[in-house]
């Protein structure tokens, strides 16, 4: 077994093996080193946020006729429903953005909007999988696991791939959205429940057990001695040595993880920037601030979720019933923190090699569902990217006059994933893992790099 | 591998001659414009049809009309085509006589390698106990075996292990990996499957009772057809429902929508992929969008396989202990399906009645209902008032709706519906009069509609789909199997069960070379940590080639004919071999020649899998609860919410059953048990013919700190009381004097529990030499 294969098979993930980070093998010169991804669970509306269509205001309340039969998830098409928020132009680029995201809007010149995304499913579960893993089926590795597999660690004392779920709960499909699928478990996400008493599973022994600080220290030292003795007659088996090292790394993680989660030391100005002083933005603000601390310490991929499952009372973006109320409650909690993270990364010189990606599983219809809601729209929705290697102030692709169907440069999550990997120095067609007879890729058999949004 | 191609001299001639012979005798019908796809003038076509050609000429069915081939000609065809075939499709070529060690030693000798000496008694017992039971031996068992100098001491150990029910529990877990068994649906709204476990118990019992492999396959695919008189066989159909299921797509999406069709396509795709990779180690699912890129599987074969399963869905299936009741139930359920087949089109007239006025009223009802849900428990008087208004609106509109529908449907239809419903009601009454049934979550068409999830009253039509897209349907496709191997007759009948039975017969046919190679290799894989073919579920060109082709074929034929499909005989043959019993110690000289140990000059060392770690910890600390079977133990806090919540951190370890073997854990798809996950327990939504072994810091933390490990450390300390006893329980050996000194010192400072924790974390505990 070659050293490289060995690393991928047994380690490489959360401090699997020292030096794994040195072997990051890119296909070309990368423009970015890390990714922070915001996932709007439940389907955030494009036509109420970033995809400006004056027709919706002009024809508000009129019968909606896109000129063909429309097959919706739950309902029949209602009338044209205007966006409940006012649109304004921002920045040099003059990008139209609605009042739903006034803070993100101030970063418009750094952002490339992709307005012509399609989904292969109109159902939350499969569509969320498609955006997170590139497949509409369960069991496939998430983008973060692929990045871990491709690039390994930049800081052996911290995980490569971290997920910060919404404190209201997990999205449709649950943690399977950040599964490492068939990739070795070394590429599993580490889920951190920011703000909870026990943010990382098993980081420390449970309270009230026999474990003391000194038994911990003596125990680890003696364990190493015993394992080294066992190794002495089996020196050819590098797995045994790898296990010994994994305990050294575990001990370092015990030191580094609490430190990175501790935000008290941040300045008041920073805390304010992220909205930690306001109960509405405090939860997401704290997660965004932790994200920055993880990224600046070398974590490759941080995924933040906005929203839990599609249940009632509404706790994600799935606004079938009352969009003005539900979308507002979701957006107002995250708009300022997301903008703060971008600005803070910029101030610290990290923005230029960090990809910021905002996504959701599909969009929402320009017509009303019932009187106040919007149904699913897999035919056209928006993602945006910013930071490392992204051409700011651009808009790629377009939907029709209704924000119903992608008509100009229609594309899929595959293309966004391909672009993301490209910026990280990876050719998405060559990042493969053999499973059950197929050389699997994050992008399945699809994907084109969206050159127009690459700087 | 190269040697496998080196056939007899006659065969070498045959390779050039076979082309000439096929041209002369077959091209008349099977030429360029050939029916059935075979074109003997095209090398690729000959190759992918090779097995069928051999079968047809051997059986004398071909050449049609002409003189039958003589024995020399037959030999030319057989040998010549075998050389053209991919290894896994070639006829099984088994030496008359052979033995595992004979083949292994012959390969070693070819590389000037010698096997390793037999492992010491303790190592051997530890190895075979973990291998056959997934549990360590007790210190007493080790001592007894060390002191038993009878020549058959080891053979008796193997007999004892194979006769124990622990064997079935261990090996069932391997099977559940292969078939991606889970106990919740996966996707959004990951609901628990309360009745999945009878399938798990069926697998355990089938293995413990050493069910012949043919029967083992048949029951999982079609016990309702082939073993109707045996109610114990019913849970085997859980095989068809092992994988994930899209609740929203099946139960909530409306009939006739594109997404509904796609949901069903992907559901059948999962069953096809699972069936073919499990039983014949072929990746048929790679031919959904186009012909298989590497293996001789045309796209139409894939859709023929989809058609095999076009009549089943995944749902709870009733069965009984009593054979007579079960037979009666099956016949009543089938009669009910007949009645519904007549009734359903009429009910659809009512359900899908449509007019502009009706659409309007439906929209109003839907809107009001969703607003009512959104308001939930009213928080303000205004909300309460609005809710009341909306509810009133729904009531009025519902009355209006009924009037509109009635006018459209007409009285005559309603009268016919009433007759049909009366019949269904009568049958349902008869069914309800039977003793209360058991249920298994399984493949079935005999279930009642829930929401928009309705049974297929007859097999759904399957079309060949352009690029695998439901929007590009091509010709209708009949059920069938892989065309690269000899076929069996698939009924054209509307009876979907007959299709599954035919597939089962195709798989278990004596001449299905894939089946027999697949199962012996799979078993070998678990015994040695690597298969003779290192891709147990892929014998295609993207998979591996056998390290010992002659051994593989000999073992396959031996298992099929001599052992009559007895898995216990197969285990016995393998673990009794010298190859299995040899030491795992490294030898520099041999490592230089074969570093990966493909030729088995020593035994492979392995890390315990997740279940074995947990079970070994439980047994070592004396807490293992050996209760068998029944509903799975939910080792999480559960709330049946919109999307159900599974929280492992909030599990109460005092829950009854918390110390049972890991095979009885309730396996959730969307939320993996973090402890097991970190020990490489596979994602239950993925077919897992092999497990990966990672060694990460996060895994070290789980073993070091997880509350279960800490609790069991305390238990082991209480049980052992002394350093020596704790070490012997964990390692099945006494500590050395040096070890004892260090351990005693540690215990004097930190207590025995701290040492127990340490022992559970040692490589000696986690690895098997």
Quick one: average pLDDT of B474-481?
Answer: 94
Q: Do B248 and A124 touch (CB under 8 A)?
A: yes
Looking only at the bridges linking them, the beta strands covering B606-607 and B473-476 are unpaired
Q: What is the spatial distance between Cα B330 and Cα B318, in angstroms, rounded to a whole number? A: 9
Quick one: average pLDDT of B322-348?
Answer: 95
Give B742 to chain A, closest Cα distance, Å.
Answer: 8
CB A35 within 8 A of CB A300: yes
Query: What is the number of domains present in chain B?
Result: 4
Dig out the tokens for B368 from the structure: 């009001």
Quick one: average pLDDT of B466-488?
Answer: 91
* pLDDT at site B16: 66
* pLDDT at site B491: 67
Q: What is the spatial distance between Cα B552 and Cα B570, in angstroms, rounded to a whole number? A: 12
Give B759 to chain A, closest Cα distance, Å.
Answer: 8
Quick one: average pLDDT of B141-159?
Answer: 97
Banded pLDDT at B14 (limits 50, 70, 90) = low
Please give the backbone phi and psi of residue A91, each rounded to the nearest 5 degrees, phi first.
65, -175
Q: Do A437 and B714 touch (CB under 8 A)?
A: no
Please give the backbone phi and psi of residue A66, each rounded to the nearest 5 degrees, phi first.
-80, 5
- Which residues, listed in sequence order, are joined to residue B319 by a DSSP beta bridge? B438
Q: What is the spatial distance between Cα B605 and Cα B529, in angstroms, rounded to a whole number? A: 8
Residue A312 sits at the vertex; the CA angle it makes with A311 and A315, to the nearest 5 degrees, is 70
Residue range A3-202+267-453 in CATH 3.40.720.10: yes
Best mutation target among B696, B743, B767 (most A Cβ atoms within 10 Å) is B696
B556 and B517 within one domain? yes
User: Per residue in A197-222, pLDDT tens?
Assistant: 889 999 999 999 999 999 999 999 99
**Closest of A428, A407, A401 to residue A51, by C-alpha:** A401
Dig out the tokens for B264 from the structure: 């069903």
Residues of B in contact with A437 (CB under 8 A): 277, 283, 286, 535, 537-538, 540, 542-543
Is residue B3 predicted with pLDDT exceeding 70?
no
* pLDDT at site B18: 86
* pLDDT at site A181: 92
Which residue, chain included where needed, has tokens 């110690």? B585
User: Per residue in B407-437, pLDDT tens?
Assistant: 999 999 999 999 999 999 999 999 999 999 9
- Percent pLDDT > 70 in chain B is 97
Quick one: average pLDDT of A68-91?
Answer: 92
B240 and B221 within one domain? yes
* pLDDT at site A9: 46
User: Per residue in A376-399, pLDDT tens?
Assistant: 999 999 999 999 999 999 999 999
Q: Do B374 and A322 touch (CB under 8 A)?
A: yes
CB-nearest partner of B695 from A243, A309, A322:
A243
**Closest of B256, B260, B262, B267 to residue B185, by C-alpha:** B267
Is residue A71 predicted with pLDDT exceeding 90?
no
Please give the backbone phi and psi of residue B638, each rounded to the nearest 5 degrees, phi first.
-125, 140
B219 and B308 within one domain? yes
Intra-chain end-to-end CA distance of chain A, in Å: 40
B83: number of CA atoms within 13 Å, CB side?
Answer: 22
B345 and B427 within one domain? yes
* pLDDT at site A75: 84
CB A316 within 8 A of CB A310: yes
SS3 of A166-223: the string is: CCCCCCCCHHHHHCCCCCCHHHCCEECCCCCCCCCCCCCCCCCCCCCHHHHHHHHHHH
* pLDDT at site B692: 87
Quick one: average pLDDT of A305-331?
Answer: 95
* pLDDT at site B652: 87
Alpha helices by DSSP H, B95-212: 100-110, 121-133, 139-147, 153-163, 165-178, 197-208
* pLDDT at site B222: 97
* pLDDT at site B35: 57
Which residue, chain included where needed, has tokens 């999307």? B643
Helix (H, G, I), strand (E, B) or coil at A381: strand
From B554, B588, B604, the end of a domain falls on B604
Q: What is the spatial distance between Cα A344 and Cα A429, in angstroms, rounded to a whole number? A: 34
B275 and B414 within one domain? no
User: Per residue in A275-293, pLDDT tens?
Assistant: 999 999 999 999 999 999 9
- In terms of residue numbers, what domain contains B58? 2-85
Banded pLDDT at A160 (limits 50, 70, 90) = very high
Q: Do B700 and A225 touch (CB under 8 A)?
A: no
B402 and B486 within one domain? no
B67 and B12 within one domain? yes
DSSP state of A66: -
* pLDDT at site A16: 39
Helix (H, G, I), strand (E, B) or coil at A90: strand
B424 and B344 within one domain? yes
Residues of B in contact with A311 (CB under 8 A): 641-643
* pLDDT at site B488: 80
B316 and B231 within one domain? yes
Which residue, chain included where needed, has tokens 């005999």? B446
Quick one: average pLDDT of A423-441?
Answer: 92
Q: Which ipTM score applies to this complex? A: 0.90
Question: Which DSSP helix (H) or strand (E) runs through A335?
Answer: helix A323-347
Best mutation target among B694, B723, B726, B769 (most A Cβ atoms within 10 Å) is B694
DSSP state of A338: H
Q: Do B675 and A14 touch (CB under 8 A)?
A: no
B133 and B49 within one domain? no
Give B619 to chain A, closest Cα distance, Å.
Answer: 21
CB B706 within 8 A of CB B677: no
Residues of A in contact with B601 (CB under 8 A): none
Dig out the tokens for B248 from the structure: 């929203």
Q: What is the spatial distance between Cα B129 and Cα B139, in angstroms, rounded to a whole number? A: 12
B597 contact partners, CB below 8 Å, separation of at least 6: B530, B604
Is residue A7 predicted with pLDDT exceeding 50?
no
User: Per residue in B211-257, pLDDT tens?
Assistant: 999 999 999 999 999 999 999 999 999 999 999 999 999 999 999 89
B742: number of CA atoms within 13 Å, CB side?
Answer: 17
Is residue A154 predicted with pLDDT exceeding 50?
yes
**Closest of A185, A176, A187, A177 to residue A151, by C-alpha:** A187
Quick one: average pLDDT of B19-26?
Answer: 86
Q: Taking all residues of chain B, what is their mean pLDDT, rounded to a whole number?
A: 93
Residues of B in contact with A176 (CB under 8 A): 186, 669-671, 683, 685
- Percent pLDDT > 90 in chain A is 87
**C-alpha dihedral (A141, A145, A151, A157), degrees to nearest 10:** -160
Q: What is the spatial distance between Cα A51 and Cα A41, in angstroms, rounded to a whole number? A: 18
* pLDDT at site B54: 81
Quick one: average pLDDT of A117-126?
Answer: 96
User: Per residue in B175-224, pLDDT tens?
Assistant: 999 999 999 999 999 999 999 999 999 999 999 999 999 999 999 999 99
User: Per residue in A257-271, pLDDT tens?
Assistant: 999 999 999 999 999
B539 and B460 within one domain? no
Looking only at the bridges linking them, the beta strands covering A301-306 and A161-164 are parallel
* pLDDT at site B11: 53
CB-nearest partner of B258 from A71, A203, A310:
A71
**Is residue B668 situated within a structural domain?**
no
Which residue, chain included where needed, has tokens 């839907």? B366
Helix (H, G, I), strand (E, B) or coil at A51: coil
Residue A148 sits at the vertex; the CA angle it makes with B287 and A144, to the nearest 5 degrees, is 70
Banded pLDDT at A298 (limits 50, 70, 90) = very high
**Is residue B39 situated within a structural domain?**
yes
Quick one: average pLDDT of B683-689?
Answer: 94
* pLDDT at site B443: 98
Helix (H, G, I), strand (E, B) or coil at B605: coil
Quick one: average pLDDT of B544-555?
Answer: 96
* pLDDT at site B24: 85
**Closest of A66, A310, A144 to residue B190, by C-alpha:** A310
* pLDDT at site B34: 60
* pLDDT at site B492: 65
Q: What is the spatial distance between Cα A67 and Cα A79, in angstroms, rounded to a whole number? A: 14
Reading phi first (left if > 0) and then psi (alpha if -120 to 50, else beta), residue A210 is in alpha
Q: How many CB atoms lie within 10 A of CB A409?
A: 15
Q: What is the spatial distance between Cα A56 and Cα A140, in angstroms, rounded to a whole number? A: 38
Q: Name the maximum alpha-carbon separation found in chain A.
A: 82
Residues of B in contact with A436 (CB under 8 A): 273, 277, 283, 537-538, 687, 689
B282 and B370 within one domain? no
B415: number of CA atoms within 13 Å, CB side?
Answer: 3
Is residue B289 predicted with pLDDT exceeding 80?
yes
**Closest of B265, B294, B267, B283 to residue B472, by C-alpha:** B265
Q: Do A218 and B376 touch (CB under 8 A)?
A: no
Banded pLDDT at B548 (limits 50, 70, 90) = very high
B505 contact partners, CB below 8 Å, separation of at least 6: B218, B488
Q: What is the spatial distance between Cα B204 and Cα A391, in angstroms, rounded to a whole number? A: 59
Quick one: average pLDDT of A317-328?
Answer: 97
CB B182 within 8 A of CB B241: no
Dig out the tokens for B753 from the structure: 């529990």
Q: pTM above 0.90? A: yes
């Amino acid at each position: 077994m070659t050293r490289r294969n060995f690393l991928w098979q047994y380690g490489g993930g959360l401090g699997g093996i020292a030096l794994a980070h040195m072997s990051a093998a890119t296909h070309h010169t990368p423009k970015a080193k890390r990714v922070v991804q915001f996932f709007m669970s439940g389907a955030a509306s494009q036509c109420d946020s970033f995809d400006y269509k004056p027709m919706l205001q002009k024809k508000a309340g009129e019968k909606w006729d896109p000129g063909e039969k429309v097959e919706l998830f739950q309902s029949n098409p209602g009338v044209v429903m205007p966006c409940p928020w006012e649109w304004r132009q921002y920045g040099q680029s003059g990008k139209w953005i609605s009042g739903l995201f006034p803070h993100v809007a101030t970063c418009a010149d750094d952002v490339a909007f992709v307005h012509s995304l399609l989904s292969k499913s109109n159902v939350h579960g499969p569509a969320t999988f498609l955006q997170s893993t590139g497949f509409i089926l369960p069991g496939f590795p998430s983008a973060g696991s692929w990045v871990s597999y491709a690039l390994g660690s930049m800081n052996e004392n911290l995980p490569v791939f971290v997920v910060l779920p919404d404190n209201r709960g997990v999205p449709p499909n649950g943690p399977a959205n950040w599964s490492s699928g068939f990739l070795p478990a070394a590429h599993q996400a580490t889920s951190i429940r920011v703000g909870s008493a026990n943010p990382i599973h098993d980081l420390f022994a449970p309270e009230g057990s026999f474990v003391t600080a000194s038994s911990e220290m003596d125990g680890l030292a003696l364990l190493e001695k015993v394992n080294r003795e066992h190794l002495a007659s089996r020196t050819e088996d590098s797995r045994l040595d790898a296990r010994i090292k994994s305990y050294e790394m575990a001990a370092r993680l015990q030191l580094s993880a609490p430190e990175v989660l501790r935000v008290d030391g941040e300045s008041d100005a920073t805390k304010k920037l992220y909205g930690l002083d306001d109960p509405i933005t405090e939860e997401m603000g704290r997660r965004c601030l932790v994200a920055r601390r993880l990224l600046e310490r070398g974590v490759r991929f941080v995924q933040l979720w906005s929203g839990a499952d599609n249940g009632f009372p509404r706790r994600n973006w799935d606004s079938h019933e009352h969009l003005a109320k539900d979308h507002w409650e979701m957006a107002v909690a995250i708009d300022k923190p997301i903008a703060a993270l971008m600005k803070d990364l910029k101030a610290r010189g990290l923005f230029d090699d960090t990809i910021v990606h905002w996504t959701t599983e599909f969009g929402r219809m320009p017509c009303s569902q019932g009187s106040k809601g919007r149904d699913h729209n897999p035919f056209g929705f928006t993602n945006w990217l910013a930071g490392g290697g992204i051409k700011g102030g651009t808009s790629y692709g377009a939907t029709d006059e209704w924000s119903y169907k992608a008509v100009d440069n229609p594309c899929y999550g595959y293309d966004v994933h391909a672009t993301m990997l490209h910026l990280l120095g990876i050719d998405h067609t060559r990042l493969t893992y053999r499973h059950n007879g197929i050389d699997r890729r994050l992008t399945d058999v699809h994907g084109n790099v969206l050159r127009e949004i690459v700087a | 591998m190269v040697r496998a191609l080196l056939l007899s001299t006659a065969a070498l001639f045959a390779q050039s001659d076979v082309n000439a012979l096929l041209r002369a005798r077959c091209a008349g019908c099977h030429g360029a414009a050939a029916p059935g796809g075979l074109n003997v003038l095209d090398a690729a076509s000959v190759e992918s049809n090779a097995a069928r050609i051999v079968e047809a000429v051997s059986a004398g069915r071909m050449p049609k009309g002409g003189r039958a081939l003589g024995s020399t000609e037959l030999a030319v065809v057989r040998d010549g085509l075998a050389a053209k075939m991919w290894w896994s499709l070639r006829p099984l070529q088994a030496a008359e006589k052979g033995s595992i060690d004979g083949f292994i030693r012959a390969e070693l000798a070819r590389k000037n390698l010698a096997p390793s000496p037999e492992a010491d008694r303790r190592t051997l017992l530890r190895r075979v106990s973990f291998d056959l039971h997934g549990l360590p031996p007790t210190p007493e068992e080790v001592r007894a075996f060390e002191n038993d100098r009878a020549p058959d001491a080891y053979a008796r150990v193997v007999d004892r292990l194979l006769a124990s029910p622990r064997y079935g529990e261990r090996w069932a877990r391997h099977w559940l990996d292969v078939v991606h068994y889970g106990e919740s649906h996966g996707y959004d709204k990951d609901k628990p499957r309360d009745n999945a476990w009878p399938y798990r118990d069926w697998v355990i019992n089938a293995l413990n009772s050493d069910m012949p492999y043919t029967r083992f396959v048949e029951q999982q695919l079609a016990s309702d057809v082939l073993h109707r008189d045996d109610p114990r066989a019913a849970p085997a159909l859980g095989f068809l429902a092992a994988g994930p299921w899209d609740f929203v797509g099946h139960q909530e999406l409306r009939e006739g929508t594109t997404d509904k069709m796609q949901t069903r396509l992907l559901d059948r795709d999962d069953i096809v992929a699972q069936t073919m990779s499990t039983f014949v180690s072929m990746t048929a699912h790679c031919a959904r969008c186009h012909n298989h890129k590497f293996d001789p599987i045309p796209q139409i074969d894939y859709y023929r396989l989809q058609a095999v399963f076009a009549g089943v869905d995944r749902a709870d299936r009733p069965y009984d202990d009593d054979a007579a009741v079960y037979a009666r139930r099956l016949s009543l359920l089938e009669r009910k399906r007949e009645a519904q087949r007549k009734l359903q089109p009429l009910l659809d007239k009512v359900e899908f009645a449509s007019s502009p006025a009706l659409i309007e009223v439906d929209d109003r009802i839907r809107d009001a209902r969703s607003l009512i849900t959104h308001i939930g428990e009213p928080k303000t008087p205004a909300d309460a008032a609005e809710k009341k208004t909306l509810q009133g609106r729904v009531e009025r509109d519902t009355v209006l709706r009924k009037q509109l529908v009635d006018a459209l449907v007409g009285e005559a239809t309603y009268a016919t519906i009433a007759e049909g419903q009366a019949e269904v009601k009568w049958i349902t009454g008869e069914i309800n009069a039977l003793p209360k049934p058991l249920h298994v979550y399984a493949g079935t068409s005999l279930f009642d509609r829930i929401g928009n999830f309705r049974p297929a009253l007859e097999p759904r039509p399957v079309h060949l789909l352009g690029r695998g897209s439901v929007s590009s349907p091509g010709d209708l496709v009949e059920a069938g199997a892989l065309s690269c191997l000899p076929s069996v007759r698939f009924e054209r009948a509307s009876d979907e069960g007959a299709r599954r039975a035919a597939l089962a017969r195709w798989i278990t046919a004596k001449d299905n070379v894939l089946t027999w190679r697949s199962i012996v290799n799979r078993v070998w894989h678990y015994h040695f940590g690597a298969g003779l073919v290192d891709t147990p579920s892929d014998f295609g060109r993207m998979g591996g080639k056998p390290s010992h082709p002659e051994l593989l074929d000999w073992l396959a034929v031996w298992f099929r004919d001599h052992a009559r499909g007895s898995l216990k005989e197969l285990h016995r043959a393998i673990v009794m071999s010298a190859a299995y019993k040899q030491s795992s110690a490294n030898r520099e000289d041999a490592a230089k020649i074969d570093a990966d140990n493909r030729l088995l000059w020593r035994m492979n060392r392995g890390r315990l899998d997740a279940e074995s770690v947990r079970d070994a910890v439980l047994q070592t600390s004396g807490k293992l609860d050996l209760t068998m079977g029944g509903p799975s133990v939910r080792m999480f806090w559960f709330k049946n919410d919109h999307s159900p919540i599974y929280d492992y951190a909030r599990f109460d370890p005092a829950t009854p059953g918390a110390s049972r073997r890991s095979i009885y854990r309730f396996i959730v798809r969307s939320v993996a048990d973090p402890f097991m996950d970190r020990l490489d327990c596979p994602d239950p939504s993925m077919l897992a013919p092999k497990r990966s072994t990672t060694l990460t810091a996060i895994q070290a933390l789980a073993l070091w700190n997880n509350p279960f490990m800490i609790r069991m450390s305390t238990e082991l300390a209480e049980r052992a009381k002394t350093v020596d006893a704790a070490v012997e329980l964990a390692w099945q050996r006494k500590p050395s004097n040096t070890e004892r000194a260090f351990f005693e010192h540690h215990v004097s400072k930190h207590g025995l529990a701290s040492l127990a924790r340490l022992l559970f974390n040692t490589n000696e505990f986690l690895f098997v030499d």
